[in-house]
Amino acid sequence: MFEQIRRIGRRRAVAGLLALTFAALVAVPAVSAVEPTTPPPAGAGPLVPGRPGLPRADLLRAVVRADLTVVRRDGSTVLVHYERGEITALSETSITVKGRDGKSATFALTPDTRVRERRRPATISDLEVGDRVMVLGTNDNGAYTAFLIRCVVKAPATSS
């Protein structure tokens, strides 16, 4: 990922993440236009003004996937795909992530794919089916290649 960020440029990578945040903020009114059937849990945090029932902490968690077009320093563009969900399949060459909406995306893995867990470097072998992850990858006509996988929540340990 760091090589990708160097190629894209730090400012452009930050701008892409801000665009992702903006996309979440624009999509939320459509999601929250329907009155919630249950009130938010007590202590859920301050509500977003004008968006009843949606705490601020849940804004980015509501984003399941996004496609970004990022302009590199040289003026060329790269398509970046973001996916958040649960690992349903994992091998040395690919990872499949299923979002909360039930749709899945498969990313090819390369030696350059970075893995992070608890803000520390990790490896593909540290991941397991059932882990909740965020994946960033390049999008080449719908074929995704992961450049960063961030483990958000480890799968619960199964007792034998």
pLDDT, tens only, 87-129: 999 999 999 999 999 999 999 999 999 999 988 999 999 999 9
pLDDT at 113: 95
Domain 2-153 has CATH 2.40.50.320: yes
pLDDT at 70: 87
Phi-psi region of 130 (alpha: psi -120 to 50; beta: other; left: phi over 0): left
For the chain, what is the total number of helices (H) and then of strands (E)? 2, 10
In the chain, domain spans: 2-153
CA pair distance 88, 82, nearest whole angstrom: 16
pLDDT at 21: 59
Look at the chain and count its residues. 160
pLDDT at 2: 57
pLDDT at 119: 85
pTM equals: 0.63
Segment-wise mean pLDDT, segments of 10 residues, the chain, 160 residues:
61 65 50 46 50 56 85 91 95 95 95 93 94 93 92 78
